[in-house]
Amino acid sequence: MSQSTTSQHHLPGHPHFQTRDGELFAEDVSLAGLAREHGTPLFVYSKSSMLEALAAYQRGFAGRKAKICYAMKANSSLGILQVFAQAGCGFDIVSGGELERVLAVGAKGSDIILSGVGKTRAEMRRALEVGIGCFNVESEGELEVLNEVAISLGQVAPVSIRVNPDVDPKTHPYISTGLKGNKFGVAHERTVATYQRAASLPGLKVVGIDCHIGSQITDESPYLDAMDRVLDLVQAIEAAGIALQHIDFGGGLGISYNGDQPPAADALWAKLLAKLDARGFGDRHFMIEPGRSLVGNAGVCVTEVLYLKPGEHKNFCIVDAAMNDLPRPAMYQAFHAVVPVKSGDAPAHTWDIVGPVCESGDWIARDRLLHVRPGDLLAVMSAGAYCMSMASNYNTRGRAAEVLVDGAKSWLIRERETAQDQMRPERLVPST
């Protein structure tokens, strides 16, 4: 019997992306082949990667009363939402538009949590109409408005109040949400009074408590600290006569972008649940809202090298992906690994990888040693979260196409956006 001589190498932190004889594959599908079929820039997602990340949370909650709600702001493409809906997830949303997206993939209103600091009356009404599972209320003013809206519809709104535990998540300041200086949640010292007000309003029903301290957290200690502070509040709230049906600990678990070592979801929750058990809360109903940790390392962006521009101080590798496709480097100075889709024999040089957008902030990666020539394809790794969901049309650039891979199969889940697509809602002023 003959044996395959194919050389395979899995990329660290991306087990469902591997090189085979020097060519990069997503599961069993060639990225170069997808680029030929669909063009570039192109986002490619591994379904197995998403389900494997979800399975870690499911293992962590085995035997517990828990619900995993995907935080869809990380990636709100319908094909991605469909994967998590079919896997039994609920959804954490932050806008009326996100509500319509999850309804479009068959989610029930009762499986949806509406978060966000600036909910409008229209968003509140629509959420109540579809039987929303819970409003995560973020301010005392919001309580009053939601009460009015619910009464006007003859309904009672289920509410959980998001508390700000003033815990440092040790992450980028733009994605830190649990400190006193952040805009999110009710201040720790105002929590009991806010719950007492909520319980007194006829249009509201208190059902839980919520906490979310940030994103891309790679250290377990902030979670443990936040849990202690939230459980202290649960005791104080219930001592005031207000029962809480669920405790929502949010999301925020990081992924490996550049050798980061975040705790595995099941290992983290083993420690958190041990703390809950020790404090007598182990039988409560729990909710969590992971986003990035489910999709971040499941996606790559394939981009073509357009030009090489050597310089006295910097060498620039100009690609067809840009800050409108991959906003994280420009916004957060974020790191994304960049690897060739096919190995080549070009001489190695250190390059800044930049896009075509007319901004000096339009960069993808800095000081990367690469063997590249014009026409080569590069894969920007860890692009499954906060890339397409934050993409824009700056410079009238169409948003990229998206493909979902499952084994040897692939599906186009978003067509490439054209200039005509962008201009369709616009109107010229009539000539006078």
The alpha carbon of residue 406 and the mean position of all alpha carbons in its chain are separated, in whole angstroms, by 20
Residue 186's pLDDT band, with cuts at 50, 70 and 90, is confident
Q: Is residue 348 part of a domain?
A: yes
* Region for 313 from its dihedrals, namely left if φ exceeds 0, alpha if ψ lies in -120 to 50, beta otherwise: alpha
Q: Which range, of 156-170, 173-187, 210-224, averages the lowest pLDDT?
A: 173-187
Structure tokens at 315: 């060498």
- Is the same domain home to 124 and 262? yes
DSSP symbols for 22-73 = TEEEETTEEHHHHHHHH-SSEEEEEHHHHHHHHHHHHHHTTTS-EEEEEEGG
For residue 76, being part of any structural domain is answered with no
Asked whether the beta carbons of 249 and 230 are under 8 A apart, the reply is yes
Backbone angles phi, psi at 304, to 5 degrees: -100, 140
Average pLDDT over residues 291-314: 96
Please tell me whether residues 255 and 358 are part of one structural domain.
no
Q: What is the pLDDT of residue 184?
A: 59
Which pLDDT band, with edges at 50, 70 and 90, does 171 fall under? very low
Into how many domains does the chain fold? 2
Please report the pLDDT score of residue 312 as a whole number: 87
Q: Looking at the predicted structure, is the pLDDT value of residue 320 above 90?
A: yes
| Statement to judge: residues 344 and 361 lie in one domain | yes
Q: For residue range 1-19, what is the model confidence (pLDDT) as tens digits?
A: 344 456 677 787 788 999 9
> pLDDT tier at 212 (50, 70, 90 boundaries)?
confident
* DSSP single-letter state for residue 209: E
| 310 in the same domain as 281 | no
Judge whether residue 173 has pLDDT over 70: no
Give residue-wise pLDDT tens across range 376-406: 999 999 999 999 999 999 999 999 999 999 9
Q: Which long-range contacts (CB under 8 A, 24 or more apart) does 194-201 make?
A: 194/140, 194/143, 194/161, 195/161, 195/237, 195/240, 195/242, 196/240, 196/242, 197/140, 197/143, 198/137, 198/143, 198/159, 198/161, 199/241, 199/242, 201/143, 201/144, 201/147
Number of continuous H segments (helices) and E segments (strands) in the chain: 12, 22
Cα–Cα distance for residue pair 348/103, rounded to 1 Å: 49
Q: Please give the Cα distance from 290 to 279 (Å, whole number).
A: 24
Residue 28, domain member (yes or no): yes
Q: Is 40 within 8 Å of 320 (Cβ atoms)?
A: yes
Q: Considering the domain boundaries, does residue 104 fall inside one?
A: no
- Alpha-carbon Rg for the chain, nearest whole angstrom, is 23
Query: 75 lies in a domain?
Result: no
Secondary structure (3-state) at 418: coil
Q: Do 320 and 280 share a domain, yes or no? A: no
**Residue range 359-387: average pLDDT?**
96
Confidence of residue 226 (pLDDT cuts 50, 70, 90): confident
Strands 157-164 and 186-187: parallel
Q: How far apart are CA 172 and CA 328, in angstroms?
A: 12
- Let me know if residue 72 belongs to a domain: no
Same-domain check for residues 123 and 256: yes
d(CA 285, CA 245): 7
Same domain, 283 and 140: yes
What percent of the chain has a predicted confidence (pLDDT) above 70? 94
What are 91-145's pLDDT values in tens digits? 999 999 999 999 999 999 999 999 999 999 999 999 999 999 999 999 999 999 9
Give SS3 for 250: coil
Average pLDDT score over residue span 29-58: 98
Mean pLDDT of the chain: 92
What string of DSSP letters covers 215-244? SSB--SHHHHHHHHHHHHHHHHHHHTT---
pLDDT at 179: 42
Question: Over 50: is that where the pLDDT of 208 sits?
Answer: yes
Instruction: Look at strands 23-26 and 14-20 and give their pairing.
Output: antiparallel
Confidence (pLDDT) at 12: 77
Single residue among 260, 290, 320 that ends a domain in this structure: 290
Domain membership of residue 389 as a residue range: 8-46+297-423
> Which residues on neighbouring strands pair with residue 8, listed in sequence order?
20
In a domain, 3, yes or no: no
What CATH code is carried by the domain that includes residue 409?
2.40.37.10
Instruction: Write down which residue in 290, 320, 346 finishes a domain.
Output: 290
Asked if 132 and 203 sit in the same domain, the reply is yes
Domain limit, last residue, from 259, 290, 321:
290
Position 428 in a domain: no
Question: CA-CA distance, 120 to 31, in Å (whole number)?
Answer: 42
**CATH number of the CATH domain containing 227:** 3.20.20.10
Asked whether the predicted pLDDT for residue 349 surpasses 90, the reply is yes
* Claim to verify: residue 136 and residue 263 sit in the same structural domain: yes
Mapping DSSP to helix (H, G, I), strand (E, B) and coil, where does residue 279 land? Answer: coil
Kindly state whether residues 248 and 308 are assigned to the same domain: no
In this predicted structure, the answer to whether residue 53 has a pLDDT above a threshold of 70 is: yes
286, 338: one domain: no
Does 337 score more than 90 pLDDT?
A: yes
- Tell me what pLDDT residue 178 has: 41
Instruction: List, for residues 410-432, the tens digit of each pLDDT value.
Output: 999 999 999 999 999 999 999 87
Both 332 and 362 in one domain: the answer is: yes
Active-site residue numbers? 358
**pLDDT the model gives residue 351:** 97
